[in-house]
């Protein structure tokens, strides 16, 4: 098994869930995940935003607002019947999607968006994701979606029965409802239900969650043999590069396995220079340039 730092497209193509998890673990906190909104116009003409993420140092690509029934990705022709597999061909990287466990009974803090069924976390969407070649699913909530920790925990259990890929679970922010974004009780329930990766807010992104608290949760997660991901999901992905570096260094000190950078930049893709800065911060130019420069034909 190769550590993800040294993997090529041909290596990723042969990986199953356990291989991918072991490859991330072996990379010792130097895996970068970039997220983009699939219904936004691409940052660069004639390229998908996924290609931008791959070109600037991303190892894993997360597609947000992807509807498993509509199957629309801007930059991919509508006649393409398998857009997820096409993205994987274009980038040579593992590709995942967000699916959202909406809580119809949650107490909302703002006007809540009504989500189409193809974006919701259900047995049917998990099966469709598997059929379309999705490598991992992230169970989380976008702003104003009323996704709750209670429903994320329930969705993990269903996903384990319906989806063979890696399951990431947790909240990046409040998602429009008034509950704690994360705590140890939620973490342990996510682990108990079978999540492969626990998502926690990155340091300095959610008010009131300290580096000490995050460090304690990450330590507890690792003691259970589970991976954890630090998520920048509060539009700070479009802040100045020094802010991104500070967040990344704090997350590295804590011990996160995966560093996520969200879709809050122009054209709903991470600011490319910030993506590269995050990558260089957690693993240096050598490994960043290695990811950026390699051919997808390797």
How do residues 184-200 score in pLDDT, each as one tens digit?
999 999 999 999 999 99
pLDDT tens digits, 97-116: 999 999 988 888 888 889 99
Q: What angle, 0 to 180 degrees and rounded to 10, lies between the N-to-C axes of helices 123-131 and 149-162?
A: 50
Q: Is the per-residue pLDDT at 122 higher than 90?
A: yes
Looking at residue 209, what is its pLDDT? 94
Q: What is the pLDDT of residue 53?
A: 98
Is pLDDT above 90 for 78?
A: no
pLDDT at position 112, please?
A: 86
pLDDT value, residue 220: 97
- The CA–CA distances, whole Å, from 3 to 6, 28, 53, 290 equal 6, 9, 20, 13
Write the CB contacts of 229 (distance below 8 Å, at least 6 apart in sequence).
33, 168, 170, 197, 198, 199, 200, 256, 257, 258, 259, 260
Token pair in block for residue 158: 């269903």
The pLDDT of residue 178 is: 86
Using the 8-state DSSP alphabet, how is residue 260 labeled?
Answer: E
Averaged pLDDT of the chain: 96
Please give the angle made by the CA atoms of 251, 62 and 192, to the nearest 5 degrees: 65
The pLDDT tens digits for 236-280 are 999 999 999 999 999 999 999 999 999 999 999 999 999 999 999
Give the whole-angstrom CA distance, residue 264 versus residue 79: 28
At 39-67, the pLDDT tens digits run: 999 999 899 999 999 999 999 999 999 99
> Per residue in 221-234, pLDDT tens?
999 999 999 999 99
Q: Helix or strand or coil: residue 55?
A: helix
Q: What is the pLDDT of residue 272?
A: 97
Asked whether residue 69 carries a pLDDT value surpassing 90, the answer given is yes
Is the full-model pTM beyond 0.85? Answer: yes
Give the residue from 256, 231, 244, 238 showing the smallest Cα distance to 62: 231
Whole-number pLDDT of residue 106? 83
Q: For residue 183, give both structure tokens.
A: 């705590």
Tell me how far apart the alpha carbons of residues 26 and 23 are, in angstroms, rounded to a whole number.
5
The 10s digit of each residue's pLDDT in 129-159 is: 999 999 999 999 999 999 999 999 999 999 9
pLDDT at position 113 is 85
Fold of 14-293: TIM Barrel (3.20.20)
**Placement of tokens 């990986």 in the chain:** 15
Residue 163, helix vs strand vs coil = coil
Distance CA 126, CA 55 (A): 29
């Amino acid at each position: 098994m190769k550590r993800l730092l040294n993997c090529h497209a041909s290596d990723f193509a042969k990986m199953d869930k356990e291989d991918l998890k072991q490859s991330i673990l072996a990379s010792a906190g130097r895996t970068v995940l970039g997220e983009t909104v699939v219904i936004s116009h691409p940052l660069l003409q004639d390229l998908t935003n996924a290609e931008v993420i791959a070109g600037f140092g991303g190892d894993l690509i997360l597609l947000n607002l992807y509807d498993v029934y509509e199957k629309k990705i801007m930059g991919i022709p509508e006649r393409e019947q398998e857009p997820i597999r096409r993205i994987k061909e274009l980038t040579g990287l593992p590709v995942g999607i967000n699916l959202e466990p909406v809580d119809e009974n949650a107490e909302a803090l703002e006007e809540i968006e009504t989500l189409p069924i193809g974006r919701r976390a259900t047995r049917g969407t998990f099966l469709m994701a598997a059929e379309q070649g999705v490598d991992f699913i992230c169970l989380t909530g976008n702003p104003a979606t009323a996704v709750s920790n209670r429903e994320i925990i329930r969705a993990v259990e269903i996903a384990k029965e319906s989806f063979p890929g890696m399951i990431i679970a947790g909240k990046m922010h409040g998602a429009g409802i008034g509950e704690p974004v994360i705590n140890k009780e939620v973490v342990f329930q996510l682990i108990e239900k079978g999540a492969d990766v626990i998502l926690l807010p990155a340091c300095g992104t959610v008010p009131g969650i300290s580096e000490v608290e995050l460090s304690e949760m990450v330590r507890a997660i690792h003691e259970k043999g589970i991976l954890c991901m630090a998520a920048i999901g509060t539009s700070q992905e479009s802040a100045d590069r020094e802010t991104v570096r500070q967040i990344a260094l704090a997350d590295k000190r804590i011990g996160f396995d995966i560093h996520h950078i969200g879709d809050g930049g122009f054209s709903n893709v991470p600011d490319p220079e910030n993506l590269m800065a995050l990558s260089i911060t957690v693993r240096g130019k050598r490994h960043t340039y290695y990811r950026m420069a390699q051919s997808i034909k390797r």
